[in-house]
Structure 1
């Protein structure tokens, strides 16, 4: 059997060791053992020839660009070299750059149709209850959890009301439910027992306890069925709505009167109000300036006494800090504190609050009732300059250069009507949950009262900006239904019991 030729001898003369797993040198092509496999160990004669490379650079392919890069920057579309400045397709005007196609063409066309359909329509009311029926539906959910009444009544026969009680009562209002088959007289007797009220309807000379309509103030007939009151054609009651329980002098005086301010005619204010209602494309501005007299007649004085049932007319009530105090520096605050003035805690007498609330009622009637507003929802502005700057800034940002001519005319007309230097300036700033001035798409709003005590007059300046792309003012029935459902949810979230309207009684 022939001897197997396995392994090779190391080519180092001093070694000549046979290695079964020899190593081949890739430079000198020699065979070596494990010990001499390195080039230094077997003194390899052939050295590695280093290829001297020149400094390669890549010129930019963009015309008139002399930039170069050490590393290739290749456009994945046109496969050309570019510098870092022109590496993007849009930067080097790539020949294979895809032109952006018009997007949302159908949507833009639909939006344009919506905008055109809204032209010429009357602006809708502010957010809050769209009408009494919608407000009652929202309130009904709350009333069912809190109302008191005869628990033996079937659910199908129950009618829920927020009953506003006379000033003699400990509580201002109380949720109750009654049977729809009862007469008004039985409802009055049962409500009086639940509220622990004195009921002397069977005495001829005594004051009569009557159930009255919350909006008109009209007293219902005692023999009317409660169910019939829900079907009045003009001003019906609603399940979950409000009613007023009040003592009246006699059966001939069965009508409660609501507080009204006297609107003073002013042709310049009417012209300015018309110019303040504009559409800028991105938004629409809705502004109004009105002047009211604070002089009270005989009936108004009785109404004011009714308003002041919780305190004397000259009792001071705390107002909320003005929104402009966020711009006051700490040094100014410290200086005001040393002088005995606290800009963050202002006060106002109840008589002034009465004027502000009645101004709101007159300006926004019959859509809204602010009789339940409280002092903390108003603020006294620190100075005329702050108010002027705030109004000018808001209107200039919305109207633009057109306000340069409108602004001086606006403030000059207000000054001639009310004498601004002699005015106390108040603002109405309710919280977000109960804000009747908010609405979907609302960008900003302000409500200022310029009150001159000597003239006994108030100039009310209200303005708001609404986004032009919002659902505000849609004319189609489908969009109206969607907005009503959305408003119902918002009203349910922001509902507070004391925001319900209440008439002021004589």
Structure 2
């Protein structure tokens, strides 16, 4: 009785060993012995790791340097992050990030513009401050001169000590026939209510502040028509200390229930 053929031969030409435990390559499907079953042992033509692909000559010339004076090519594309173009290693610093003279000039102008605007605004503010300071000095000087004049012709209670006398030029109510302003003095330790009573007596006008009539005699600032104060129990000295009143100031005495009057009518 003949025995059936046992085992199979290795597919490697120089081996051809008969092996009972034959191995089949998963790539090329050929059979190999235990010495040549690995893809590297039999140089498997179907395994990608063993295949050296031939580079396409066209592909090697695909990436040509963008620099006009350069003809070098590369299989690796090197893109500039700024202009998105390919450059070789020799021309990778091609000045793409460098700004033109026009761009530099525009950026310089944009940088200098805030400084220019600030300089203009500062000059305007400085001029306004200087003008206000000049007006303030002139106003203070004019008020000092007026105070000296008022002291020479003001009328008031002789019982007021000289040290407590405060002088004002009072513009009388519009309904008074004799509308010329009067120079008066009051005491700085009087209330504003008592001061109004005294000024009304000096000018010789009716005073109904002690009645329920809503229209009262009030003192107003001659520069803006604003009431000096509505509370009649405030001391004159307190108003002077708070710079609400000043010695030698022009004031308007008027019948009103409002806090503002048209100061332009009193001249």
Q: TM-score range by the shorter chain?
A: 0.3 to 0.5
| TM-score (structure 2 length as normaliser) | 0.46
| TM-score (structure 1 length as normaliser) | 0.25
Bigger Rg, which one: 2
